[in-house]
Structure 1
Amino acid sequence: MSINCIRTLLEDANISHKDKIALVHNDKQITYEELFKRVNQVAFYLKELDLPKDSRIGIYSTKSIDQVIAILAILSTDYILVPLTRLLQPEQIEYIIEDCDIKCIITDKVKIEKIEKSNFNGQIISYERTEQNLASFEEIYKYYNKPYTCDVNGHDNAVITYSFGLTGKPKGIVISHRNLIDSARVVSQYLKLKEEDVISGTLIFNLDYGLNQIFCSLYKRATLALHRFILAGDFFNHIIKDKVTILPLMPINITQMFDEEEHKLPSAELLSNIRVITSSGGNVTEKMLKDLDKYFPDAKFYSMHGLTEAFRSTYLEPSQIWIRPDSIGKAIPDVELYIINEQGQECKPREVGELIHRGGYIYKGYWNAPVETKERFKSIKILKDVINLEGELCDEIVVASGDYVYKDEEGYLYFVSRRDDMIKTRGFRVSPYEIESVVYKNIPQIEQCAVFSIENQEIEEEIVLVYSSRSELPVNEIVFELKKHLASYMIPSKIFYNKSLPLVPSDKNKINKEILKENIINNI
């Protein structure tokens, strides 16, 4: 058995902490010994399906203890896990099934109908017994009690994750077993996680940030408290009732937490168990930081920046969050980061260039997409003018992230834009992210905003700002404030108010700019 796999953590936890509570969900809980037993039962059944090695198995269900068992069971075989978020529509599920040829799907009663609409012809396993007489975890737990052993190779493919963006077909990113355990190790290290911690499992498990909560819990023999965020009140009850100490969030969760009247929110004393809060996947505004400070005054807040092609690149230490709140921080342990310009030379402080990720946590590439893989996963020769490649040691792979960033004089990094997001107007390249950051920082009445461009033949592209707030603001007041902080060519020429902004169905942390753009073009 490889030491570089999640299966090893599970086996060791069963020996050293078998009576420790591993998972909590509502009023249910399970020990490491019980978890190990159930994972083995499901893994045994999966192997009896006799699918070819590296067959893809999807998980499409709501959050539950059985969902975590399914994840760990697949990772205890030589099959590959494909998480399918419950937010996806049947046509999106159908796309993923076809793209990576999923042979089996594990699901719950609610999702079976959607799977059937996707014309899936493979094996379906349900957590509960069904009228369709499908195999179920209930039956597996009852009848499968034989010993189970496995030999997982740390370099083998473990997971393929898909992220549906706003345009184009999604690409699956391939993650190895070693990637999973490396990411658990590094996060446990810099967050200083402890065996006594209770980690909130609020994030969905379709991407690596969410899955990492499971693996960090195993790595430290901690407890993972599962929760599905629907209402702020229920979420705070989860924190208090489950005695959560580690709180991983997306920025949208922070907004949702405090989108309540103040008298309905719990006191800071009731939330004092929280010692670490993390956020990744988007911009954290000043209002979010103030709310967190008010209700979690003793918690350390870590802002983090990850890549599709590598688990994580940077984090900002809690001590810096109010000194440089717009920074994405510095490289995490075992990672080297470089910023290079179009000539391949290292950028000077304040000069914008592409972020190059070297070192640990790099994933294996895009599934069945050699052109896209070659575009992002580059030879270290891309850094030939930056580092010493003496000895022709040029087989190393680095990630050309497509993120445009700059560093300050102290080496802290700042995100500017994605390569494909840049707006070209009046001969200048403009970052929508930069304009949005100024809005959030200087116009507190605005709750959400989106900046994008529409075609204008006279100036290439015209900048548009759409925002939401409790009430509409005078356009001239918005423009007046923006002119204090932005160059004239960066000021949006069109500003629109919406009571709320549409979100991407598969990622509630992203505003759906394509729908906004389409609505504006249709109404011009």
Structure 2
Amino acid sequence: MPNSPDPTPLPLDHLVERAVANGHGDAPALVLRNLVLNHDGLRQRVDWLAGWLAREVGRKGQRVASWAAKGELTCLLPLAAARAGLIHVPINPLLKHHQVAHILGDSGAVMLIGTASRLKSLEAGDVPDTCRVIEEAEALEFAYDAALALGPSMADPADLCAILYTSGSTGKPKGVMLSHANLWLGAVSVAHYLRLQADDVTLAVLPLSFDYGQNQLLSTWYAGGSVVPLDYLFPRDVAKACAAHGITTLAAVPPLWVQLTEIDWPAEAIASMRRLTNSGGALTTELVGDLRAQFPQANLYPMYGLTEAFRSTYLDPEMVDRHPTSMGQAIPFAEILVVRADGSPADPEEDGELVHCGPLVAKGYWQDAKRTAERFKPAPAHSRYGGTAVWSGDTVKRAANGLLYFVGRTDAMIKSAGNRISPQEIEDAAVASDLVAEAVALGIPDSRLGHAIHLIVRGTQDQSERDTLAKILQKELPNFMQPHVIEWRDAMPLNANGKIDRAALYRERIGEKHA
């Protein structure tokens, strides 16, 4: 890669043109269970899928949603929708039907493409009348039979390209609006600082419905490399895939890294590994040590990001052993400021809010001006980029040597097993059961998960109803939102304003954990 990344964004679908233009057309690009596409074949299939979408959907700017496991459709659709002038709405395949219904309704999607089993789980009223539903196998068959050539798009890089739904600390998932430029420059930035090459092979184990996962595809293809998508059941499946495909790049979140350090790895899987990347939660000193021991020749990249600005910082691998708990410094195209409550710059070693400025900043929340105004605000006066910045709500500090360190969050967001989880979503599901009158969901620090979910509810003492609540939550919430502990109480503590004292409940849990 060049010494300095090119800051000029292009329409996202041009990623498939770039690899071919750079002479990588015959090199593997996408390795599926029963099919291997080189970059030229990837470009052709993206073109056909885009041509079919353009014919079937029509008007540019319409939203097309996908709800499927990793495979040909979910890997191609981000680029094909962009080429067709449409807006891709990837839905986490772990979500349940009522959450999918919210995303379809909120985004105004006119088409939902998904696996047959997931589509069958939808209930009456989940899909708006204006949304066409089609199975992924049929969609691909129709697209390739039609073989409509569309060619590279001429989209303005500032145009909206995707809406990624992410949980907030309150309410239902909100859609983060990303432009072609956001996604293109994110791919360029990551490919540059990871030093990705055309002979790199990335194992895509993270969900493609959120930015860290989707960037596995985009940054690798920008460099001309190859991606192997994997939906795994057990950690050993990851190790086996690494050995089978000569994986050089593996991205994960802390809970998965913990599991991966507890299994035996084939020698060939370790030998081929060049880099490990982490986001979705901080690495502990112990986990850094375990990873360095397991993969002594691989570079380890701790990173910090937020969907509203894709990614903010990374720590140079050469500094990991000396500063294992640091978030590092700004990635290319990002300006990271630490500011006081009045917007002035914090001094070294002084706590302040992390503010992300620059072209990676998203376009706000879809159809939510209120929440957009709360998070997307004018950059501090001392920003070199200016314009709109993301005020993260995270408290950090910058050491005298320039390295950043995470201090804590200012909201109630739960981060468990790499997932951002809204406490209110869990609480709403509990109250909707009609078995409890009040509910509070808390994220309690956990060495394996990041946060364990503790649900405290006020309600009946009847054991059968308690068992019923757990069953209802299993039906209504995805696995990663399931409470690890459900505590029943006769009364909730109240603060001076007469509201439930969440802080007191949290302190009780922390006290019990360390008792």
TM-score class, shorter-chain normalisation, is: 0.7 to 0.9
Q: Residue 463 of structure 1 aligns with which residue?
A: none
Q: Residue 359 of structure 2 aligns with which residue?
A: 360
In 2, Cα distance between the equivalents of 1:401 and 1:244?
Answer: 34
Deviation at 1:50, TM superposition (A): 4.0
Partner SS, residue 102 of structure 1: coil
Aligned counterpart for 2:396 among listed residues 393, 401, 405: 405
Query: Which segment is superposed worse, 240-249 or 108-117?
Result: 108-117
Q: How does 1:363-374 map to 2 (within 5 A)?
A: 363-374=362-373
Matched, 1:300 2:299: yes
Q: Residue 233 of structure 2 aligns with which residue?
A: 230
Query: Which segment is superposed worse, 37-46 or 65-74?
Result: 65-74
Aligned counterpart for 1:200 among listed residues 192, 203, 207: 203
Give RMSD over aligned pairs. 3.0
Q: Residue 430 of structure 2 aligns with which residue?
A: none
Q: Residue 119 of structure 1 aligns with which residue?
A: 127
Q: How does 1:118-157 map to 2 (within 5 A)?
A: 118-121=126-129, 122-129=131-138, 136-141=139-144, 143-149=145-151, 150-157=153-160
Deviation at 1:81, TM superposition (A): 0.2
8 A contact 2:71–2:229 mirrored in 1: yes
Partner SS, residue 86 of structure 1: coil
8 A contact 2:239–2:265 mirrored in 1: yes
Q: 1:329 to 1:453 in 2, by over 3 A?
A: farther
Partner SS, residue 13 of structure 1: helix
8 A contact 1:24–1:65 mirrored in 2: no
Matched, 1:30 2:21: no
In 2, Cα distance between the equivalents of 1:398 and 1:374?
Answer: 11
1:376-396 deviation digits (Å, cap 9, x = unpaired): 11123xx23x469xxxx96x1
Q: Residue 266 of structure 1 aligns with which residue?
A: 265
Q: Residue 439 of structure 2 aligns with which residue?
A: none
Q: Residue 491 of structure 1 aligns with which residue?
A: none
In 2, Cα distance between the equivalents of 1:28 and 1:214?
Answer: 17
Q: What code does the residue aligned with 2:309 have? A: A
Q: Residue 376 of structure 1 aligns with which residue?
A: 375
Aligned counterpart for 1:214 among listed residues 201, 212, 217: 217
8 A contact 1:268–1:295 mirrored in 2: no
Aligned counterpart for 1:45 among listed residues 52, 58, 72: 52
Q: What code does the residue aligned with 1:119 have? A: V
Q: Residue 498 of structure 1 aligns with which residue?
A: none
8 A contact 1:251–1:284 mirrored in 2: yes
In 2, Cα distance between the equivalents of 1:334 and 1:270?
Answer: 33
Q: What code does the residue aligned with 1:125 have? A: I
Q: How does 1:83-482 map to 2 (within 5 A)?
A: 83-115=90-122, 117=124, 118-121=126-129, 122-129=131-138, 136-141=139-144, 143-149=145-151, 150-165=153-168, 167-260=170-263, 265-268=264-267, 270-380=269-379, 383-384=380-381, 386=382, 396-421=387-412, 436=445, 440=447, 450=452
Partner SS, residue 203 of structure 2: strand
Q: Residue 429 of structure 1 aligns with which residue?
A: none
Q: 1:57 to 1:400 in 2, by over 3 A?
A: same
Q: Residue 67 of structure 1 aligns with which residue?
A: 74
Aligned counterpart for 1:79 among listed residues 57, 76, 86: 86
Deviation at 1:177, TM superposition (A): 0.4
8 A contact 2:285–2:325 mirrored in 1: no
Partner SS, residue 254 of structure 1: helix
Deviation at 1:517, TM superposition (A): 7.5
Q: What code does the residue aligned with 2:132 have? A: Q
The percent identity for this pair of structures is 30
8 A contact 2:11–2:154 mirrored in 1: no
Deviation at 1:297, TM superposition (A): 0.9
Partner SS, residue 137 of structure 2: coil
Deviation at 1:84, TM superposition (A): 0.4
In 2, Cα distance between the equivalents of 1:191 and 1:369?
Answer: 35
Q: What code does the residue aligned with 1:28 have? A: L
Q: Residue 6 of structure 1 aligns with which residue?
A: 12
Partner SS, residue 49 of structure 1: helix
In 2, Cα distance between the equivalents of 1:87 and 1:164?
Answer: 14
In 1, Cα distance between the equivalents of 2:341 and 2:69?
Answer: 45
8 A contact 2:68–2:93 mirrored in 1: yes
8 A contact 1:329–1:414 mirrored in 2: yes
Q: 1:519 to 1:325 in 2, by over 3 A?
A: same
In 1, Cα distance between the equivalents of 2:276 and 2:76?
Answer: 26
1:156-206 deviation digits (Å, cap 9, x = unpaired): 100000013564122110000011110011111111110110011111111
8 A contact 2:178–2:362 mirrored in 1: yes
8 A contact 2:181–2:359 mirrored in 1: no
1:109-159 deviation digits (Å, cap 9, x = unpaired): 222212455234321232324xxxxxx312332x21243234322111000
Q: What code does the residue aligned with 1:82 have? A: V
Deviation at 1:27, TM superposition (A): 4.5
Partner SS, residue 181 of structure 1: helix
In 2, Cα distance between the equivalents of 1:198 and 1:65?
Answer: 17
In 1, Cα distance between the equivalents of 2:70 and 2:202?
Answer: 15
8 A contact 1:7–1:152 mirrored in 2: no
8 A contact 1:378–1:397 mirrored in 2: yes
Q: 1:240 to 1:54 in 2, by over 3 A?
A: same
In 2, Cα distance between the equivalents of 1:328 and 1:522?
Answer: 42
In 1, Cα distance between the equivalents of 2:402 and 2:346?
Answer: 12
Higher RCO (Cα < 8 Å, 6 or more apart)? 2
In 1, Cα distance between the equivalents of 2:326 and 2:233?
Answer: 30
8 A contact 2:235–2:259 mirrored in 1: yes
In 1, Cα distance between the equivalents of 2:201 and 2:51?
Answer: 29
Partner SS, residue 10 of structure 2: coil
Query: Which segment is superposed worse, 406-415 or 107-116?
Result: 107-116
8 A contact 2:255–2:449 mirrored in 1: no
Q: 1:409 to 1:35 in 2, by over 3 A?
A: same
Q: 1:192 to 1:243 in 2, by over 3 A?
A: same
Partner SS, residue 361 of structure 2: coil
Q: What code does the residue aligned with 2:370 have? A: V
In 1, Cα distance between the equivalents of 2:269 and 2:116?
Answer: 36
1:449-485 deviation digits (Å, cap 9, x = unpaired): 6498989xxxxxxxxxxxxxxxxxxxxxxxxxxxxxx
Q: Residue 425 of structure 1 aligns with which residue?
A: none
- In structure 2, list runs of 5 or more residues that go unmatched: 1-7, 414-441, 458-473, 493-515
In 1, Cα distance between the equivalents of 2:357 and 2:137?
Answer: 45
User: Normalising by the residue count of structure 1, what TM-score does the alignment of the two structures yield?
Assistant: 0.77
1:263-303 deviation digits (Å, cap 9, x = unpaired): xx124454111111001011222342233122211000001
Partner SS, residue 487 of structure 2: helix
Q: What code does the residue aligned with 1:173 have? A: V
8 A contact 2:255–2:450 mirrored in 1: no
Deviation at 1:521, TM superposition (A): 4.3
